[in-house]
């Protein structure tokens, strides 16, 4: 129910014998995460003999990539660089791409007399222009769904306005016609239609920004413009 858990997920994984791994993930800080966990656990596990063998918690990345992965002589790769799928929290392919582009940048930098941020910068450029826009779009899709009421969420699922296949195959550009032609019933929900148009616009803007990821000297200007764009567009989902 999106009204109870605005953005998150739950898992249950069978292990050896009668053991299972159960967990919950939520976005941002939550004071009642244990209450949410107990609620889902009780719905799925009915046995009164069940007991907790081991428990724990942690923090994971759940956003688009960092604006830069290079800081002086330090390079971040994988989860530390937020190279993940912001919807499903994982997707090792982004981390593999990060490792590939990082290694190429290091090999090129070693050919010069000095290793510094500017001659490692190709790592940022290559990764961002390859999959940066896709990661940012997936973050926008996540925020879009988080902004919906339970009624609207159910409407989308029941009428297949945005199918799971469409989300899974999102590239770097979400076209309006991919959604609008799915169902005529969408026009009965003008507010939802307006949000989908915003999401489409967001997709195009992210493609423009990340496909034009800047050289080292122009980074600060690019970062300020991107952050302002993200703030304005993503906040509009919740209006």
At residue 13 the predicted structure's pLDDT band, cuts being 50, 70 and 90, is: confident
Taking residues 180-196, what's their average pLDDT?
70
pLDDT at 11 over 90: no
Taking residues 59-68, what's their average pLDDT?
88
Question: Domain spanning 70-236 has what CATH number?
Answer: 3.50.50.60
**Digit-coded pLDDT (tens) for 70-121:** 988 899 999 899 998 887 766 688 999 999 999 999 999 998 878 889 999 9
CA distances for 190 relative to 61, 157, 187, 197, angstroms: 34, 17, 6, 10
**Digit-coded pLDDT (tens) for 214-233:** 999 999 999 999 999 888 87
Q: What is the distance between the terminal CA atoms of the chain, rounded to a whole angstrom? A: 20
What residues does each domain of the chain span? 1-57, 70-236
Where does residue 105 rank: exposed (0-12), middle (13-18), buried (19+ CB within 10 A)?
buried
pLDDT at 237 over 70: no
Window from 21-35, 118-132, 143-157 with minimum mean pLDDT: 21-35
At residue 171 the predicted structure's pLDDT band, cuts being 50, 70 and 90, is: very low
Of the candidates 223, 239, 233, 159, the residue with the CA atom closest to the CA atom of residue 200:
233
> H/E/C letters for each residue in the chain?
CCCCCCCEEEEEEECCCCCEEEEEEECCCCCCHHHHHHHHHHHHCCCCCCCCCCCCCCCCCCCCCCCCCEECCEECCHHHHCCCCCCCCCCHHHHHHHHHHHHHHHHHHCCCCCCCHHHHCHHHHHHHHHHHHHHHHHHHHHHHHHCCCHHHHHHHHHHCCCCHHHHHCCCCCCCHHHHHCCCHHHHHCHHHHHHHHHHHHHHHHHHHHHHCCCCHHHHHHHHHHHHHHHHHHHHHCCC
């Amino acid at each position: 129910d999106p009204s109870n858990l605005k953005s998150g997920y739950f898992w249950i994984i069978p292990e050896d014998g009668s053991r299972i791994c159960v967990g919950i993930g939520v976005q941002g800080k939550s004071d009642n995460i244990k209450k949410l966990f107990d609620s889902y656990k009780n719905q799925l596990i009915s046995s009164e003999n069940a007991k907790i063998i081991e428990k724990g918690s942690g923090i994971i990345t759940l956003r688009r990539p960092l604006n830069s992965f290079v800081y002086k002589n330090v390079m971040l790769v994988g989860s530390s660089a937020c190279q993940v799928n912001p919807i499903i929290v994982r997707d090792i392919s982004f981390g593999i791409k990060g490792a590939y582009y990082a290694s190429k940048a290091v090999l090129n930098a070693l050919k010069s007399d000095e290793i510094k941020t500017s001659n490692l910068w190709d790592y940022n450029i290559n990764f961002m222009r390859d999959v940066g826009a896709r990661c940012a779009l997936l973050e926008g899709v996540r925020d879009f769904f988080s902004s919906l009421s339970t009624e609207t969420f159910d409407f989308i699922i029941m009428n297949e306005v945005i199918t799971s296949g469409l989300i899974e195959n999102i590239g770097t550009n979400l076209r309006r016609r991919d959604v609008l032609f799915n169902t005529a019933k969408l026009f009965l929900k003008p507010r939802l239609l307006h949000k989908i148009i915003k999401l489409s616009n967001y997709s195009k803007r992210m493609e423009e920004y990340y496909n034009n990821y800047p050289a080292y000297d122009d980074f600060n200007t690019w970062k300020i413009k991107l952050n302002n764009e993200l703030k304005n567009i993503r906040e509009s989902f919740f209006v």
